[in-house]
Amino acid sequence: MSLENIQTPIGNLSIYFNLNKIYKISPMGKVKDVSFQFDDYDPSAFRVYLSAEIKSFIDDLMKFTDGNFESLSKYRPNIEGSSFSSNSLRAISKIPAGETRSYKQVALLAGYPNAYRAIGTACGKNPLPFIIPCHRVVNSGNKVGNYVMGPRLKRQILEYESEIKEKDHIAVV
């Protein structure tokens, strides 16, 4: 596994990857978040080998953090994990840009109608923020709520996506 730390307009991020697969994006310094997922985890063994695909992803991530929130829309995650977690993240992945769903709505979509609090936990453990759009999941009453990258960024992304959707709607009419 490799680690690439990048400086972005929203803060320093760590990207954990192996060849052409990205495992996790997190604020820099949260290496312990990855250690439980990989039996062979050894921080001293991290090496930096950037394939063309990973370089392209990092370029797109930089565009995203600089305000081009559509730059990551082409990436489709391979969601793995327990059935609850994977079903929750798959349901979240289907929320269109410019729209939000409440934790309760996502719980219904994922097939766990009474697990809306657990949806928040699944969002907090989302290994690929920005790609799996947990920022589109809000509290009841459309309150922004928490986000692994901070509520300010969550609000900013939601506002931008809403503006883009509105512009697209106006252009179609």
How far is it, in rounded angstroms, from Cα 52 to Cα 142? 39
Instruction: Give the active site residue among 134, 138, 148, 149.
Output: 134
CA 58 vs CA 1, 8, 64, 163: distances in Å: 16, 10, 10, 25
- Please name which of 21, 144, 134, 143 lies closest in space to residue 85, comparing C-alpha atoms: 134
How far is it, in rounded angstroms, from Cα 150 to Cα 147? 5
Tokens at residue 81, please? Answer: 């994990």
110 φ/ψ angles, rounded to the nearest 5 degrees: -80, -10
How far is it, in rounded angstroms, from Cα 77 to Cα 131? 7
Q: State yes or no: is 123 an active-site residue.
A: no
- Please name which of 121, 99, 128, 116 lies closest in space to residue 13, comparing C-alpha atoms: 128
Tokens at residue 53, please? Answer: 């695909």
Positions annotated as catalytic residues are: 134
